[in-house]
């Protein structure tokens, strides 16, 4: 069967680049821009190998990133080619492949197997408590879990491990990691990352196992190669070594899982790793409006570590990208609600954000307004985080000043310099009937004079009054009590303030938080809803009619300590989820480097008002204090067009506003 006969028989429609990739008989890395039909090309490649090249399907292995992707890939294969070969072709995740390698090794060596531990959080919790003496938050545990995965997948050495700190308390992971590995080994347990480490070692040291799998799977196809970790690339490399039958599909511009040890560098080094390998391109975006494609292409070109590639729109330019500007971040929720009411029924609109915390005010507002929604991948770690627990426990304490548990959870957070011994003595006094007014009153009796006594009396008075306050007043009071005395997560405090309505009592506020937490844990997904809330990470690989990108502000997107190139890729992935329209929210009270860069791009790519939603210099006015990465603190003298003139300690400087903003070089200092 010829290639032409093949595509006619199975009604496969390919553009020229897709067709060339499908027919490639060499080691190949196919770089595919968003919406370019990479999955179509990969599945067509599978059929081409079987029906045109006559390759036995049992010799073909397709490696996917997730179990869901495995099921989807098999379903697509069956859609094109029926069920004739669907069970003969192997579709596996890398973990499933590693499990098979370990199983074969155990069989031929007569060794005993390890038990797979699917949930390692209880083990991590036990070790954390034994190491620190403290009870960890769920967020702490997941951060440690994530770092353990990163260490194993990136094959870090002891020196690199020692440098890693986790949690708000900056705990070194070195001892936790060593004890975790020892605990699993002693109990003959293995986590999913251990599967890959063990399989890698087997393939590297045991030639019999290595040759068995190289002969069994003579043709390798790898999907989402940009999300593959270093150790996963090494495993693939060992199985592909000495053969010209490796077909990898990915795009380093869409690599957004660095925290899970994704290793896009492997794509940059493909031709060096695989001698004679060929890099091919899919450059036509069939998904998004032409304006979106143009803007996204210009945006991602600011990254340095990438293959040069075009991004060509298949759709015309019909709806310009918009940047909706607001004075305050908190105004976004009402604006978005009004926008959603203007959208025709049946058109999916996705609100995308970096962190799940950003979704909470939207969840509350959408429910309140009776707008159906579906929220993807939401967790409840927000409610168990330290800052939120401090605040809710203090409000609860105001209703029950004799609650010993709440008192012990909060006494150290208020800045009264109360020792643990003093707190325990006060509890004992209360339990022995020394005061009916609560444990804080016992503290007052214990510390009779001096500044500490005055602080205790003042703090106790504030706490007692919380139950009489509105929710916003209570939050402001607690912020006053904690600020400067204990670290507070300002973003979580912001979210709480957004949830606290003026007409809501402190008690109603607590009930609302519990109700919101219950909804997240128990609400069945509404797959028919037109409104979707999702992190950008969870939206990867998906597409929607309309996309709104929220909270692209400094410290969130891009993250405060994150790799700026990966953060730029994340923003790019969010943009390219949109089919018809893309709206980016902008707030004057926040520093937004990616949005400023996008404004500059839109002025060059879009006509008229849409390209100039906000003027170039609207952020800065004469008299504003600004901070420049190189020149330090200065005062704006004038702002004219794209030129900002400011006086710094080193002298007067004239700066390009758009360039400085796009590079994250300058920001406005918001004075209190």
Average pLDDT over residues 269-274: 93
Q: Are 240 and 276 in contact (CB under 8 A)?
A: no
Higher pLDDT, 362 or 414: 362
Q: Residue 539: is its pLDDT beyond 90?
A: yes
The rounded percent of the chain whose pLDDT value lies above 90 is 62
Residues in Cβ contact with 473 at an 8 Å cutoff, skipping those fewer than 6 apart:
none
How many angstroms separate the CA atoms of 582 and 320, rounded?
Answer: 8
* Tokens matching residue 532: 């979707």
The model's pLDDT over 604-654, given as tens digits with 9 standing for 90+, comes to: 888 664 433 444 444 677 778 888 888 888 888 777 666 788 888 888 787
- What confidence score (pLDDT) does residue 662 get? 62
Higher pLDDT pick, 611 / 565? 565
Task: Convert the pLDDT of each residue in 467-508 to its tens digit.
Answer: 999 999 999 999 888 765 556 788 999 999 999 988 899 999
Mean of the per-residue pLDDT values of the chain? 89
Residue 319 has pLDDT above 60, yes or no: yes
pLDDT in tens, 438-455: 888 888 888 776 667 888
Q: What are phi and psi of 36, to 5 degrees?
A: -95, 5
Q: In terms of pLDDT, which residue wins out, 239 or 416? A: 239
Residues of the chain above pLDDT 70, percent? 95
The whole-number pLDDT of residue 244 equals 67
Q: How far apart are the first and last CA of the chain?
A: 75
Q: What is the 3-state secondary structure (H, E, C) of 570-624?
A: HHHHHHCCEEEEEEEEEECCCCCHHHHHHHHHHHHHCCHHHHCCCCCCCCCCCCC
The span from the CA of 185 to the CA of 182, in Å, is 5
Q: In angstroms, rounded to a whole number, what is the distance separating the alpha carbons of residues 255 and 262?
A: 7
* For residue 437, pLDDT beyond 80: no
Of 538-542, 551-555, 652-656, give the lowest mean pLDDT range: 652-656
Whole-number pLDDT of residue 614 = 42
CA 653 to CA 564: how far, in whole Å? Answer: 26
- Spatial strand order of the sheet with 666-668 comes to 651-656, 643-648, 632-640, 625-628, 666-668
Given this model, what pLDDT does residue 165 score? 79
């Amino acid at each position: 069967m010829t290639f032409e006969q093949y595509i006619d028989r199975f009604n496969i429609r390919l553009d020229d680049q897709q067709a060339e990739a499908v027919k490639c008989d060499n080691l190949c890395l196919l770089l595919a821009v968003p919406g370019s039909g990479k999955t179509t090309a990969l599945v067509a490649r599978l059929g081409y190998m079987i029906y045109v090249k006559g390759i036995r399907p049992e010799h073909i292995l397709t490696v996917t990133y997730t179990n869901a992707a495995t099921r989807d890939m098999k379903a697509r294969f069956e859609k094109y080619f029926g069920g004739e070969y669907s069970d003969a072709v192997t579709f596996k995740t890398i973990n499933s492949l590693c499990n098979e390698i370990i199983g074969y090794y155990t069989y031929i060596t007569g060794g005993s197997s390890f038990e797979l531990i699917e949930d390692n959080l209880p083990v991590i919790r036990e070790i954390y408590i034994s190491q620190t003496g403290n009870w960890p938050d769920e967020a702490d545990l997941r951060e440690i879990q994530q770092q353990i995965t990163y260490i194993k997948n990136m094959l870090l050495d002891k020196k690199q491990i020692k440098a890693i700190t986790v949690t708000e308390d900056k705990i070194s992971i070195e001892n936790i990691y060593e004890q975790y590995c020892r605990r699993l080994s002693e109990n003959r347990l293995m986590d999913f990352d251990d599967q890959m480490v063990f399989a890698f070692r087997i393939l590297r040291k045991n030639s019999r196992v290595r040759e068995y799998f190289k002969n069994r799977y003579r043709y390798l196809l790898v999907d989402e190669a940009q999300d593959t970790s270093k150790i996963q690339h090494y495993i693939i490399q060992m199985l592909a070594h000495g053969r010209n039958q490796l077909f990898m599909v990915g795009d380093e511009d869409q690599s957004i899982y660095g925290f899970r040890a994704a290793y896009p560098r492997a794509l940059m080094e493909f031709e060096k790793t695989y001698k004679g390998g060929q890099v091919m391109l899919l450059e036509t975006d069939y998904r998004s409006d032409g304006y979106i494609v143009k803007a996204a292409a210009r945006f991602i070109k600011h990254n340095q570590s990438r293959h040069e590639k075009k991004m060509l729109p298949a759709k015309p330019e019909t709806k310009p990208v918009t940047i909706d500007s607001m004075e305050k971040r908190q105004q976004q929720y009402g604006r978005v609600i009004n926008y959603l009411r203007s959208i025709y029924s049946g058109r999916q609109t996705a609100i995308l954000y970096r962190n799940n915390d950003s979704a909470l005010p939207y969840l509350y507002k959408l429910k309140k307004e009776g707008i159906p929604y579906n929220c993807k991948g939401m967790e409840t770690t927000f409610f168990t985080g330290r800052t939120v627990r401090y605040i809710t426990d203090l409000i609860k304490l105001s209703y029950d000043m004799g609650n010993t548990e709440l008192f012990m959870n909060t006494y150290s957070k208020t800045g009264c310099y109360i020792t643990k011994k003093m707190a325990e003595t006060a509890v004992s006094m209360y339990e022995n009937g020394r005061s009916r007014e609560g444990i804080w009153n016992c503290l007052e009796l214990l510390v009779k004079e001096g500044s500490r006594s005055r602080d205790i009396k003042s703090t106790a008075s504030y706490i007692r009054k919380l139950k009489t306050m509105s929710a916003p007043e209570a939050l402001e009071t607690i912020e006053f009590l904690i600020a400067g005395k204990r670290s507070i997560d300002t973003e979580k405090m912001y979210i709480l303030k957004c949830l606290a309505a003026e007409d809501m009592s402190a008690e109603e506020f607590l009930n609302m938080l519990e109700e919101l937490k219950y909804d997240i844990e128990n609400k069945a997904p509404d797959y028919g809803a037109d409104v979707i809330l999702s992190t950008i990470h969870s939206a990867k690989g998906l597409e929607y009619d309309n996309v709104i990108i929220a909270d692209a502000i400094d410290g969130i997107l891009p993250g405060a300590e994150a790799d700026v190139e990966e953060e730029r890729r994340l923003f790019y992935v969010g943009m390219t989820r949109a089919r018809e329209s893309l709206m980016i929210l902008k707030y004057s009270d926040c520093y937004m480097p990616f949005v400023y860069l996008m404004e500059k791009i839109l002025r060059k790519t879009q006509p008229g008002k849409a390209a100039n939603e906000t003027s170039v210099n609207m952020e800065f006015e004469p008299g504003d204090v600004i901070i420049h990465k190189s020149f330090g603190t200065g005062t704006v003298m004038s702002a004219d067009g794209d030129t900002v003139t400011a006086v710094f300690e080193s002298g007067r400087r004239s700066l390009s506003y758009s360039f400085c903003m796009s590079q994250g070089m300058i920001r406005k200092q918001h004075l209190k």
